Amino acid sequence: MNSVTFPAGIILEWLNRTHRRRDFQSGESLVDDWLVTKASQHQEKRLSVTQVLVDSRNQRVVGFYTLATGQVDFAELPDDIARRLPHRQLPVAVLAWLGVDRNHQSQSLGRRLLSQALRDCHEAGKTFPFVAVILDCLNDSVKAFYLRWDFAEMPGKSYRLYLSGQRLEEMMRRET
Quick one: angle between helices 165-175 and 109-125, nearest 10? 110
Element (H, E) at 68: strand 60-73
Query: Distance (Å, rounded) from C-alpha 155 to C-alpha 7?
Result: 38
Q: How many helices (H) and strands (E) does the chain have?
A: 6, 7
Q: Largest Cα–Cα distance in the chain?
A: 51
Contact criterion met (CB below 8 Å) for 54 and 61: yes
Residues annotated as part of the active site: 146
Phi, psi of 138 (to 5 degrees): -85, -30
